[in-house]
Structure 1
């Protein structure tokens, strides 16, 4: 989920007006020249669909969102993506030490919204690299901007499907941990199959997070929190770090996000889940 509020709908034309009223362009949009048809949105930035049709079509746990990219975000995408961005195309295993320029432990964050919390966690823990993955282009640009502004060398931004990244592009036991904060809860029962935290997903995660590494989830949707707790507790490759089981207190390293604050003001209950990957002799790596 994004930390940013939903953009207002464009104003409709007044019924008495001889022609529809068209809202004035956003100032950032007005300064940007029109893009010829077929030309990439950001020639040196993230690809629109990096994996293309190279992999099977399946039910997605995310919904790509289209919203305005500001000039500052576009500038960050153009300048910084070649060095700090990763298009998830599934065409080869990523050398994480080469990607970050060091051999520090790497945590994968799936879904970072506008990136404020990610940037704060990276600044507070420079000894840990964060590979942050999302499909929201404005958020990708904003996180790159924050990383440059704050001198964060331990952030890389992934664009595309995190399942393909885990399955095709990360080596076994290559991650120190996984963070999934406020994923789409898909509240309607017929959509529950789209939720990310499922047994099959954890099978894959267990092959990529090293023994002793952590899986940290947080949600303000209580039914989803209960499902997460049930699924993680039942999985043989993970154990709850909370003595006696149950939800964990919010760890100090997870910042209170703007989105979370808004939920708390509305009376939402935020639940954290903190599980540890345990070794299981004879376990085979997950396959596609």
Structure 2
């Protein structure tokens, strides 16, 4: 089984994702994610071993990605930060085969599950990134290279002392804007209402983004975002899910530094 003992120092998946691939190369005083350790099933482990060399990417910050080369096609690429077990990602990839999805997470079972789903469905437009999305954006992607950014149900870090760990903050938005092409869509969704309110305020106040909603509020869930199992569980508990759809403003009105 995938969780059987192994000699000390031997990688868990020799040909798969590596633990903390950026290592000590970069100073990361604040992490917006919490690594989660949970059991990897045999099917997920098999997918990681078979498919990681083909569709996987360790985010080490040591090279600049050529997205057409990565996807073996010159197609628009959307970055998804945090995909859970990957069911929604796989569905979006299947329904829009002309768009590449670079899906990033640190959850090893989810990485294996998404690779397995992509393989079983014959999807060639998914690549799975392992590591810190901030390092990916800052060190490995070129300006204007992304056609969209999706952040679905990020950790809300509900305690006041942890709010600095929240992903959607002005500094992150400035970095993201520099990698998004004009007109690209930034799509966030959360079932934590206080975080949704902060997201709306921060996005509304950022000069590089404009709300797609005429009333400058939340958006209806678009058809292209499937309802996930996690979302359904939240709705069953009475949670309110809010979608935010903001567009990267044209460069001629851009005031952010690059």
TM-score range, shorter chain: over 0.9
Q: Post-superposition shift, 1:34? A: 2.6
Rounded Cα–Cα distance in structure 2 between residues aligned with 1:44 and 1:194: 31
Deviations 1:158-186 (A, max 9, x none): 00000000000001000000000000000
Q: How far, CA to CA, are the matches of 1:180 and 1:144 in structure 2?
A: 19
2:208 paired with 1:232: no
* Deviation for aligned residue 1:92: 1.1
Q: Please list the CA deviations of residues 203-243 of structure 1 after superposition, one character each: whole Å capped at 9, or x if unmatched.
A: 00010010000000000000000000000000011000001
Asked whether the 8 Å contact 2:170–2:206 carries over to 1, the reply is yes
In the alignment, structure 1 residue 271 sits paired with structure 2 residue 242:
yes
1:75 aligns with 2:41: no
Equivalent position of 2:79 in the other structure: 108
Question: 1: distance between equivalents of 2:98 and 2:201?
Answer: 32
Matched, 1:120 2:101: no
CA contact (8 A) 2:174 2:256 kept: no
Q: Paired residue for 1:164, among 109, 132, 135?
A: 135
Number of residue pairs aligned between Structure 1 and Structure 2? 257
Over aligned residue pairs, what C-alpha RMSD do you find?
1.1
Question: Does 2:184 correspond to 1:213?
Answer: yes
Q: 1:51 aligns with which of 10, 17, 22?
A: 22
Structure 1 runs not aligned, ≥5 long: 1-27
Normalising by the residue count of structure 1, what TM-score does the alignment of the two structures yield? 0.87
Per the alignment, residue 155 of structure 1 pairs with: 126
Greater Rg by CA: 1
Runs (4+) of structure 1 exceeding 6 A deviation are: none
Which ranges of structure 2 fall in alignment gaps of 5 or more residues? none
Q: Matches of 1:259 and 1:206 in 2, distance apart?
A: 28
Is 2:37 aligned against 1:37? Answer: no
